Structure 1
Amino acid sequence: MEVITTTGLSAVSALLGVEVVERKGTGHPDTLADGVAEAISRAYSRYCLDEFGAIMHHNTDKTSLLGGAADVRFGHGELTAPVQVLVNGRITAALGDHTIPVTDIVTAAARTYLAGALPLLDAERWVEVRTRLTQASSPGAVSGPDTTQREASRQRWFAPRTLDDLAERHRMFSNDTSAGVASWPRGIGEQLALGIEEHLTGEAFRAEHPCYGTDIKLMVVRHGPRVQLTACVPQIARETPDLDSYIARRNQARDLITEVAGRIAPEHHVTVSVNTRDDDSRPELYLTATGSSIESGDEGVVGRGNRANGLISMLRPWSAEGVSGKNPVYHVGKLYNLAASEAARRLHEETGLDCAVALVSQSGRDLTDPWQAIVQTSGPSPVGAGHVRRVIADVMGDLGMLREQLLDGKLATA
């Protein structure tokens, strides 16, 4: 591992500076797509571990959602066409003669996840799961007279005869050349975006305010102590009897967000706007049957929403990788982004500096030995390379624990 350390990182948690931060809520179509892809990977992985003691090769990180249609009016909301889940990817369908019930696993995981994320969505009736899965190998499988006898060859990547055909059981290596990027600590704008959305979509708030949905989107712009925040907050049609109620609750949402923002950033001046596209005279409003625009034609795609840290921070270093649905065993597009976040957090705790970490993999290289590790910090002097090497080595040594957190659903990927 080559270690590069440098300075020049802006201390975003300081009073001066600018942040532009977006957060797509739990009911946003892109967040739903991430959640479905990860739920499928998790369910498939658990099945394989229970049946075989190892996770078969798979990736569902190209999953997308196509929105349905809904009849929405004051006091009433119902779907009229289903939400479609397009599960695109590759999944091992059998280990030797043991057939894996891939379609059943995928369908159950997708519907269960969406039913939990959108309780007003009848997932059995209004979610259609369409699997588009193959077992084709990536480039590298070169045919020849002896390829059928080779253990752990590319020929057997998605068609293993026994566990010996899983290459990672012989040597754990990076499946791709990619980079995982993360920063720590969170800036005020990031804290606001994350904290407000989590409050508005939390169980306690939803129980107290059933009129609001979870397809919430926040855009935060901070310039020094001044923060401007625009929120999109859906309302549930059956809980909203008329226009006056809708307007009153829109105003209430603005006041509630302002209150939460005051607790998170008491030394900042926060201005809040809610549902700025509404036209009360027509009316055209953010009124929904289920609390998400996925019910009415919007689409969701893995990787288009929040990064692995749950945010889209426009002026911070970040990776474009879609983390959700990637194989948790060896896929660097998942593991290196999460590892970079942990490394940045540990380095900040040890140095007190704002830290950005990039872990760059090299296809075929040992998974726990990144090709390049770049650390940029605030302050006048770079962190020592030996210090960085020790922290990253410790983080990479903990990948097994990270995988368990992913499989237990305790570590978010979007």
Structure 2
Amino acid sequence: MNLITATGLIAADQLDMELVERKGAGHPDTLADGVAEAISRAYSAYCLQHFGAILHHNTDKTALLGGAAEVTFGHGHLTDPIVALVNGRLTPALGTHAIPVEQIIATATTDFLTGALPMLNADTDLVIRSRMSQASSPGAVAGPTADQRAGRRFWFAPRSLDDLPELARMFANDTSAGVGYAPFGVAERLALEIESSLTSPEFTSTHPWFGTDVKLMIVRTGARLHLTACVPQIAAHTPDLDTYIAHRTQAKEVVTDLAAGLAPGHRVRVSVNTRDDDKRRELYLTAIGSSIESGDEGVVGRGNRANGLISMLRPMSMEGVSGKNSVYHVGKLYNLAAQKVAMRLHEETGRTYAVALVSQSGRDLEDPWQVLVQASGEEWLDPALTRKTVTTVMNDLDDIRSALLAGELPTA
């Protein structure tokens, strides 16, 4: 690796301003990320169980098309279903062993969406359309080498595990970059903690009238925090307008209390559901707790970055992490690894770090082409410690893979 270091980064909580968004668990973009990742995990688990290796796949172009819903106080139902467009590539077989790709897609999609949206009736309110191809990426040139082992021709049609080149040498599938930084700033911590609290099973079980399509936008200037929250209500638990207004007031109080506890010493101003027009009965009232029920769409990579945030004044990669193969896709692994490097360096030194890992297509996966590390302050940045930390994380990519396959490491 070529290691480039710099100082002068402003410490997270010394930034003059922050602008942070977080899309909640039930937001259409977050749901699309979740579906893509759930399918990748399920497909990977099948491959490991039957073949001992994960075959080539990616579902990171998945999208959700919103349905249509009719809501009134006390009742809501979908009038048109949500459509899951599962786009990507999944290897359909290893030799003569056919893989039940469509079944894996259907089961993973249904299980994830009904888990994320408990009021969704999968039998009537969900349509799944998979559009899988098996074409390899560019690189296969017709000629006398077309039948070679581990060649491009057999990328998605392997005759045996010998046709998986990564089993002989793990290499980067793309020229790309992953970024990470640590620690989080005040607004970033607020966005993560407040959304997680409002969409947690504990909160929704005691507040069943709130849906999970929560969205937060936070602006911090100095010690002032301006927070706008969109919090849906579920029609079946909201019998009239007065109840809706009371629930909205309750949501504002909950968010205000959480913010005050998480950001002591800051002046907090909270707004909730600013588009509501009570007189016109134009409200964030839903059947299942998410705007996916009524015309909104969700697409992988349009929502939270791999660290769970959309932090507009911090470094970020536009890679859609969810649904990529966890074996060698740098768009996934390098973003997660860069975050891990930044966190370890921060824990070691107490300084703020921004880290970028840059790959070269075909280069050894564990050996990034370029590594850019910037730290807060002006003190000398120890290149030996930095290189050792990067090397340790890159040599332990299996830890990241294991956490991803176990569903323990969020990708959005």
Work out whether residues 111 and 124 of structure 1, in 8 Å CA contact, stay in contact via their aligned partners in 2.
no
Work out whether residues 376 and 382 of structure 1, in 8 Å CA contact, stay in contact via their aligned partners in 2.
no
The whole-number CA distance in structure 1 between the counterparts of 2:111 and 2:304 is 22
The whole-number CA distance in structure 1 between the counterparts of 2:379 and 2:42 is 46
Q: For residue 214 of structure 2, what is the aligned residue in structure 1?
A: 216
Deviation at 1:125, TM superposition (A): 2.4
Q: For residue 386 of structure 2, what is the aligned residue in structure 1?
A: 388
| Aligned residue identity for 1:259 | D
Q: For residue 31 of structure 1, what is the aligned residue in structure 2?
A: 30
SS in 1 for 2:131: strand
Q: For residue 145 of structure 1, what is the aligned residue in structure 2?
A: 144
Q: For residue 48 of structure 2, what is the aligned residue in structure 1?
A: 49
Query: What per-residue deviation string (whole Å, max 9, x for no partner) do you get for residues 292-331 of structure 1?
Result: 0000010000000000000000000111100000000000
Deviation at 1:268, TM superposition (A): 0.9
SS in 1 for 2:253: helix
Q: For residue 270 of structure 1, what is the aligned residue in structure 2?
A: 268
The whole-number CA distance in structure 1 between the counterparts of 2:9 and 2:117 is 40
1:4 aligns with 2:4: yes
1:64 aligns with 2:74: no
| Long gaps (5+) in structure 2 | none
Q: For residue 277 of structure 2, what is the aligned residue in structure 1?
A: 279
The whole-number CA distance in structure 2 between the counterparts of 1:162 and 1:327 is 19
The whole-number CA distance in structure 1 between the counterparts of 2:57 and 2:275 is 41
Query: What per-residue deviation string (whole Å, max 9, x for no partner) do you get for residues 310-361 of structure 1?
Result: 0000000111100000000000000000000000000001111100000000
SS in 2 for 1:374: strand
SS in 2 for 1:131: strand
Q: For residue 321 of structure 2, what is the aligned residue in structure 1?
A: 323
Deviation at 1:126, TM superposition (A): 1.2
| Aligned residue identity for 1:42 | R
Deviation at 1:82, TM superposition (A): 0.8
The whole-number CA distance in structure 2 between the counterparts of 1:165 and 1:125 is 42
Work out whether residues 12 and 18 of structure 1, in 8 Å CA contact, stay in contact via their aligned partners in 2.
no
Identity of aligned residues (%): 65
| Aligned residue identity for 1:201 | T
Alpha-carbon RMSD across the aligned residues, in angstroms, is 0.8
The whole-number CA distance in structure 1 between the counterparts of 2:381 and 2:249 is 48
SS in 2 for 1:358: strand
Q: For residue 377 of structure 1, what is the aligned residue in structure 2?
A: 375
Q: For residue 128 of structure 1, what is the aligned residue in structure 2?
A: 127
Q: Name the TM-score, length of structure 1 as normaliser.
A: 0.99
Q: For residue 349 of structure 1, what is the aligned residue in structure 2?
A: 347
| Long gaps (5+) in structure 1 | none
The whole-number CA distance in structure 2 between the counterparts of 1:391 and 1:350 is 10
Deviation at 1:266, TM superposition (A): 1.4
Mean CA deviation greater in 177-186 or 124-133 = 124-133
The whole-number CA distance in structure 2 between the counterparts of 1:88 and 1:96 is 23
Q: What is the total number of aligned residue pairs between the two structures?
A: 412
The whole-number CA distance in structure 1 between the counterparts of 2:31 and 2:75 is 24
1:78 aligns with 2:77: yes
Query: What per-residue deviation string (whole Å, max 9, x for no partner) do you get for residues 352-411 of structure 1?
Result: 110000000000000000000000111013422221110000001110111010000000
Mean CA deviation greater in 42-51 or 375-384 = 375-384
Deviation at 1:146, TM superposition (A): 3.6
Deviation at 1:80, TM superposition (A): 1.1
The whole-number CA distance in structure 1 between the counterparts of 2:380 and 2:67 is 52
The whole-number CA distance in structure 1 between the counterparts of 2:309 and 2:65 is 23
| Aligned residue identity for 2:127 | E
Q: For residue 115 of structure 2, what is the aligned residue in structure 1?
A: 116
| Aligned residue identity for 1:28 | H
Q: For residue 294 of structure 2, what is the aligned residue in structure 1?
A: 296
The whole-number CA distance in structure 2 between the counterparts of 1:382 and 1:147 is 53
Q: For residue 334 of structure 1, what is the aligned residue in structure 2?
A: 332
Query: What per-residue deviation string (whole Å, max 9, x for no partner) do you get for residues 220-279 of structure 1?
Result: 000111000000000000100111111111111000100111111111111000000001
Work out whether residues 89 and 133 of structure 1, in 8 Å CA contact, stay in contact via their aligned partners in 2.
yes
SS in 2 for 1:141: coil
SS in 2 for 1:176: coil
Of 201, 204, 227, the match for 1:203: 201
Q: For residue 98 of structure 2, what is the aligned residue in structure 1?
A: 99
| Aligned residue identity for 1:31 | T
The whole-number CA distance in structure 2 between the counterparts of 1:200 and 1:289 is 18
SS in 2 for 1:219: strand
Q: Name the TM-score, length of structure 2 as normaliser.
A: 0.99
SS in 1 for 2:29: helix
The whole-number CA distance in structure 1 between the counterparts of 2:380 and 2:370 is 16
Query: What per-residue deviation string (whole Å, max 9, x for no partner) do you get for residues 74-128 of structure 1?
Result: 0000111110000111110000001111000001100100000000001232111
SS in 2 for 1:8: strand
SS in 2 for 1:285: coil
Deviation at 1:17, TM superposition (A): 1.4
SS in 2 for 1:260: helix
The whole-number CA distance in structure 1 between the counterparts of 2:196 and 2:165 is 40
Work out whether residues 235 and 246 of structure 1, in 8 Å CA contact, stay in contact via their aligned partners in 2.
yes
